[in-house]
Amino acid sequence: MSYSKTFKELDNSQYDRASFDCGEAELNDFIQTQAAKHMQAGISRTMVLPAVTPLPNQKYPICSFYTIAPSSICRDILPQAMGKKLLRYPIPVFLLAQLAVHKEFHGSGLGKASLIKALEYLWEINAHMRAYAIVVDCLTGQAESFYAKYGFEVLCEINGRVRMFIPMKTVGQLFT
C-alpha cells in the first residue's frame, strides 16, 4: 500500500475506516467509530492520509490520521516563567487529540511527516484563531518520547496520561 501526498478531511463515503490498524485499540476505535461523530458534532476535525489505490469496496484505506480540537488550559500548569506573563483566564490552545499511523508504515517516517502536517495545519489556523500552544495527551511512553523529539515538553499529568505542549511561537519558527 502506498499513500497519497495530501491529507484530506475524513469522509465516510470515501475512506475505509474499518481497515485502519495502528496497533493501539483506543486509536483504532476512535477512527473507526468516533471521529466522524465528533466532526458531525463540531467538536473536532480529523484529517486522513489515504492510500492511492482503493479497496474492492471502492473506499481508500487510511494510512495515517490526526485529529485536532480547540481547548484551553489553566495558566497555573504552565512553567512559571511562561504562566506569569499570561492572564488568569483559561489559556486557549489547540489539542492534537489523536495522531496514528497504520502499522504497515511504522518505522517509515510517516509519523514524523504526519506530525509536521498537523503542526503546519494548526499554524495556518493560528493566523485566524489564536492559541498559545498545542497540547497532546500521550497514550504511551513511546508516544511521549516521540513528541519530545520534536520539541514538546511535559506540562502535567491528566487522567493518568502525560500531557505535553509546544508553544505556538516555537511552531512558528518551523514554518516562517
Q: Are the CB atoms for 61 and 19 separated by under 8 Å? A: yes
Q: What is the identity of the amino acid at 107?
A: G
List pLDDT tens digits, range 106-164.
999 999 999 999 999 999 999 999 999 999 999 999 999 999 999 999 998 888 899 99
Which has the closest alpha carbon to 20: 52, 69, 60, 56?
A: 60
pLDDT at 23: 96
Percent of the chain topping pLDDT 90: 82
CB atoms within 10 A of CB 66: 23
pLDDT tens-digit series, residues 37-47: 999 999 999 99
Which helix H or strand E contains 81, and what residues bound it?
A: helix 80-83
pLDDT, residue 26, reads 96
Please determine, for residue 80, whether its predicted confidence score (pLDDT) is greater than 80.
no
Name the CA dihedral angle for 82, 123, 171, 146, rounded to a multiple of 10 degrees. Answer: 110
Predicted pLDDT at 170: 93
Residue 84 confidence class, pLDDT cut points 50, 70, 90: low
Tell the residue number behind the cell numbers 504552565, with chain if given: 78
Q: How far is CA 165 from the centre of its chain?
A: 12
CB 167, CB 132: distance < 8 Å: yes
pLDDT class for 83, splitting at 50, 70, 90? low
